[in-house]
Structure 1
């Protein structure tokens, strides 16, 4: 059997890849275990040198990698270049800080000496999505490899070229053979990999349903899991907000990565006293983003990653309109040539409880606008969601904004007057149906280690 990468601009098959057989997968897992015996005994300085070399390789290849993303999942070249640079930075961040994050922690007890030691778990399976094909992988790989773990990557089928490129990058950087490997398998094969006793833990970025399945499989075997799942991030626009600035940030966040990001702004909750004025500016900002060929430097919005995903999104829009939502921008499939996956920037207003969009994640360039009578109701609507990944509030009163972010938002990453984004220096992850565990920062590198107590009398 084979898997295909399909160009979302025109529907053409880019390349077919032969799937790994069960015996090939088993062999790769065993190779990873043998590599780990050596890798775990390497010193931090050796790992740091290799991660810094990986950063250099990423930067040297940025044009090729950006074009690869544009071809396989429609990411505009500028966004692809920025993604590659972010991967380089996360490699450098853990190369420079990993040893300090995992140094022994002395604890005063009655013992002669007692301390906590952080040691690698072993071989970790990473299940990653197509929307950030390099960043999603490297934000796990950089801390995971620095901690001394080995990794197997099961990437999304439509970005198999990106998955294999990651393996090439790490080998070119000098990473020992089999410390990192790509598994070319389908979703149905994941259970077989998790069940292998060599696999000590699993990390997944993807849909809530996929996360629940993997969590159940891992829990049944008492294996650690970190899950970064769906999100329906609320952005609150309070009556004292800078509306032009807020609308610009909201449009950028909603349309980033062609509208396909778990931490993109999806729900815009506007205090009714400024709702009409905000909408006027928001429509203008959303309309100004140029849709087109991701290979063109002037393109802001490329196609969605697959035609079936675009069709599913359009059906969601129609269902919500039928339920009473009002479409004030877009809501249609543009008349481009070929079997493309483009969708117009869209704004739906009048979203109320009971409509499908109230509780369902909308994964594409569609903004949902809610009206709230005051700040208190805006916060209530924001939290009335099964998701809890990110949230933001826009207000000129920074103290009030901070109070909302710190004390009232039910989410893992809460921002004031800024777009929600991931940063190597800050922990990232969600609560509720957005998953559990953390990536990045000191907390990310400590997810896949044995936090060991050593007591000496």
Structure 2
């Protein structure tokens, strides 16, 4: 493995805190994991490269059959995975089951569409009998994935790489290592070649070393924009492609002609899903003055009706945040806004006692001197902005460094399209929250990242688009 020089060490944020899983509802230590030694990390990378050299030669039709077996096995283990996710990061069990069903769906999507994605594309060039291009694998992809969707996020990166013919090294977030490690067993049972997919409990210094190594050919990261800038810089230094899926502060815009009650119900439900810990959660509700009173009344009703508690309790709607640190940071953002004059529509904040609980809250009157105006609020904190018209909504929606997604509601479809086209995002839903359908490219602009995952473009950044010409 390439040695890490002092300059690279300085580029790493800090030493990783170590892999340990805690129950965020109780603070109980679930398990501690050993970080790989440098020798073990080198062996893991060597194994991945050797597996790639064999896997790339496996016909696509055989890969498809293995993908389908993997999907079936994931479906059979939904309850087991859901239980682990809820234990490690506090997601209500019903939502954890929903997430546990997604890997099977993702792998079936690529199994169903691989032949079309990987087909040769003919190009008419005078003087040649045939010119064509096709996507070909490049080697080992390092995937660095987050805690808020430990199965969904990791498999969203792994599936297109594996179908393409690449090997995958999966570095999980330190607090959900148990969930990610369970995936290795499923890959083995499905019939994937040994070491073609490996969970890697590596340090941040070892991540830097992986990126510098010639056997790693691409990097995928889902995380904060701070992490993205570090990983992007390191990959750029070695001229390697990246897909960076980073933060978001999406706007949910309700214009004059929209139904304020129905739209507020959808906006609040989207904000609260996943305990608000999602990059694509619509964090800022922007509503025009004409309908603001009815919208606000319905929006705050949803937040007031949340039940905070044990994520295994079917009555619970809001479990703990992923960690004490996450809950404390969200409360600091909330308190900063309140101290500087934000209007409290639903009072919330940190809940006393053990666990990383945060009572859902709603604020309005947020101004540029407050942290929440500029930062991503990762948790059940709703923010409502009232504006005079569509133009003001566009200006406010774009007044952020982020550009992941957005939502626009209006009975006037021309107006809705105009607003949607005017906001600087990678995705936008008109008269319905878009989410992340498997067949739609997922990704953003500005500090929300570069590249796309899912959909027909999912393989692009991880492939060699190779062109052949025949005289």
Tell me whether the two structures share a fold, i.e. TM-score over 0.5: yes
State the partner residue of 2:327: 310
Question: 2 CA distance for matches of 1:324 and 1:359?
Answer: 16
2:379 equivalent in structure 1: 364
Q: Is 1:27 the equivalent of 2:43?
A: yes
Deviation at 1:309, TM superposition (A): 0.8
Give the match for residue 439 of structure 1: 453
SS at match of 2:321: coil
Q: Does 1:422 align with 2:436?
A: yes
Indicate whether 1:394 and 2:409 are aligned: yes
Instruction: Identify which of 349, 352, 355 aligns with 1:332.
Output: 349
Structure 1 runs (4+) greater than 3 angstroms displaced: none
Instruction: Give secondary structure in 2 for the equivalent of 1:273.
Output: helix
Structure-1 separation of matches of 2:47 and 2:285 = 48
Cα shift at 1:60: 0.4
> Does the residue aligned with 1:114 lie in a helix, a strand or coil?
strand
TM-score w.r.t. structure 2 length?
Answer: 0.94
Output the CA distance in 1 between the equivalents of 2:142 and 2:428.
29
Is contact 2:225–2:247 with CA below 8 Å preserved after alignment? yes
Count of residues paired in the alignment: 454
In structure 2, the residue matched to 1:106 is 122
* 1:354 Cα offset (Å): 3.1
Secondary structure at the counterpart of residue 264 of structure 1: coil
Q: Which runs of 5+ in 2 are unaligned?
A: 1-16
Partner Cα separation in structure 2 for residue 102 and residue 359 of structure 1: 41
In 2, the alpha carbon distance for the partners of 1:149 and 1:240 equals 49
Q: Please say if residues 144 and 220 of structure 2, whose CA atoms lie closer than 8 Å, have aligned partners that are also in contact.
A: yes
* 1:160 counterpart SS class: helix
Per the TM alignment, residue 315 of structure 1 is displaced from its structure 2 partner at its CA by 0.6
Query: What is the correspondence of 1:191-210 to structure 2 with a 5 Å cutoff?
Result: 191-210=208-227
Q: Structure 1 residue 37 and structure 2 residue 53: aligned?
A: yes
2:370 maps to 355
Q: Do structure 1's residue 137 and structure 2's residue 151 form an aligned pair? A: no
Give per-residue Cα distances to partners, 1:63-107, cap 9 Å, x unaligned.
010000000000111111111222211100000101211111000
Partner Cα distance (1:59, 1:46) in 2: 20
Q: How much has 1:2 moved relative to structure 2? A: 5.2
Question: TM-score when scaled to structure 1?
Answer: 0.97
Mapping of residues 36-435 of structure 1, within 5 Å: 36-110=52-126, 111-335=128-352, 337-338=353-354, 340-405=355-420, 407-435=421-449
Residues of 2 paired with 1:186 and 1:282: CA distance? 42
Contact 2:20 2:32 in 1 (8 A): yes
User: Any idea what SS the aligned residue of 1:70 has?
Assistant: helix
On the 8 A contact 1:263/1:420 being kept in 2, the answer is no
Query: Counterpart of 2:198 in 1: which secondary structure?
Result: strand
Distance in 2 between residues matched to 1:225 and 1:446, nearest whole Å: 11
Between the aligned partners of 2:196 and 2:297, the Cα distance in structure 1 is 53
**Contact 1:98-1:445 within 8 A present in 2 as well:** no
Please say if residues 102 and 446 of structure 1, whose CA atoms lie closer than 8 Å, have aligned partners that are also in contact.
no
* Cα RMSD after superposing both structures: 1.2
Which stretches in structure 1 are left out of the alignment for 5+ residues?
A: none
Q: Distance in 2 between matches of 1:299 and 1:261?
A: 19
